[in-house]
Amino acid sequence: MDSVTDQAVLATLPAYKPSRRGRGPLFVLLGVLLGIAGDRYILPSLMPNITTPPQEARAPAQAAFSRVGDRIVVPDTSPLRTRLSVEAPIVKSVARSLVLPAVVEADPSRTVKVMPPVTGRVIELKVQLGGRVLQGQELAVIDSGDLAQVYADIEKARSTLTLTKKALDRQMNLEKAGGAAIKDREQAQSDYAQAVAEFERSESRLRAMGVPADQKEQSRLLSVKAPVSGSVIDLQIAPGAFLNDATAAMMTIANLDTIWVTANVPEKDIAFVATDQPVSVTFPAYPDMTFNGRVLFVSDVLEPDTRRTKVRIAFDNPNRALKPGMFANAKFSAPSVSRLLVPTSALLMSNDRTSIFVEVAPWTFERRDVETDYEEGNTAVIKTSLKPGERVIVKGGVVFND
């Protein structure tokens, strides 16, 4: 069929107009055909020589260390040999010192609490807090009804004593004349003995109040005298105060010619101090002065609340330069001893234990728990579980710390 005929035939056919609804599947089909053509013809032409190489076989990894029981072995080819540092501990003569806070206290054996001898009212106070007194010096004056009662008891006992003495003498004379019974004489002797005892008791009570028994003047006023020489370090009364408790001290007098410096030593350091150990003490009040002394005693009692024990050092204090309540620093020095020192980097902490790795054979290590005494700079003093000459891992041992 020629072209003219074809055109004539096509002219007789109705014109094709695709609907809007049929356009979608047509476009999808066209996209799929283009994709297949691209995979088959276009991509191979763009990447003609690309091939996937075969995966190389990996060499099996060698362990850096192995465990044989409680021991750790580092093999010759292990990279850890270049990362671990193994050294022997340093043997050093160590003279340790311990510095503890302390406080100045009065010597209890030279301290007296002045108690009120009677009940009554303080009408005059003759001393001040911090003042110095001499033995027998007047401290205070108390107006007391008890004192008047004591004087009355003494007069009553004296009168009874005089009467019973006369009755006894009369019975003795009658007995000699044969006109008295023996029992009457014995009764008179008993009455006289009781009167003597009562009179002596009354005088003794008066002397206990600080009043001489031969004092003729009787008064309600009682003068309280200093029982010892010293300084008034505590004062609890004032003029006008009423004293009604015989167990409550009016004041405290301490002889400060000798004082105590008391330090509280922690429980872990108790073995470091001992009686007669040399101690040097400094005071913030005298920064340029050092007081040298010796430990007087170490208390046998450990305080349960603070877990500390008291250590006391005695110092002579003739000029009263050291005063109770002053703060101080006590430095305890111990004799030099030979100790093993390792770098602190060798210590491995795990919960409440401290351990190190000790070389028991060439590049073979075992873990040991140790007890350290104290640390000084970058070194630690080992107390247990390590001997001179044994080598330890001082660097890199953390890789074994599981």
Alpha-carbon distance of 254 to 324, in angstroms, equals 10
Which pLDDT does position 337 carry in this prediction? 79
Which pLDDT does position 258 carry in this prediction? 92
Alpha-carbon distance of 21 to 105, in angstroms, equals 111
* Position 217, amino acid: E
Residue 323 has pLDDT above 90, yes or no: yes
Q: Is 161 helix (H, G, I), strand (E, B) or coil?
A: helix
Which pLDDT does position 269 carry in this prediction? 87
Residue 18 has pLDDT above 60, yes or no: no
Q: Supply angle C-alpha 327, 329, 334, rounded to 5.
A: 155
> For the segment 82-115, what is each residue's pLDDT rounded down to a tens digit?
999 999 999 988 777 889 999 999 999 999 999 9
Q: Which helix (H) or strand (E) holds 104?
A: strand 97-106
* Position 368, amino acid: R
The pTM of the full predicted model, rounded to 2 decimals, is: 0.57
How crowded is residue 89: how many other Cβ atoms within 10 Å of its Cβ?
25
**Would 147-211 and 254-333 be classified into the same CATH topology?**
no
CATH 3.40.50.2000 fits 71-94+337-400, yes or no: no
CATH 1.10.3720.10 fits 254-333, yes or no: no
Which pLDDT does position 211 carry in this prediction? 74
Assigned superfamily of 147-211: Helix hairpin bin (1.10.287.470)
Alpha-carbon distance of 332 to 37, in angstroms, equals 97
Alpha-carbon distance of 243 to 142, in angstroms, equals 9
Per-residue pLDDT averaged across 364-378, rounded? 87
Distances (CA, A) of 237 to 123, 131, 185, 196, 220: 11, 15, 54, 38, 19
> For the segment 237-264, what is each residue's pLDDT rounded down to a tens digit?
999 999 988 889 999 999 999 999 999 9
* H helices present in 178-241, as ranges: 182-208
| Whether 67 contacts 77, CB under 8 Å | no
Q: 328 or 400: which carries more pLDDT confidence?
A: 328
Q: What is the domain partition of the chain in residue ranges?
A: 71-94+337-400, 147-211, 254-333
Alpha-carbon distance of 265 to 360, in angstroms, equals 39
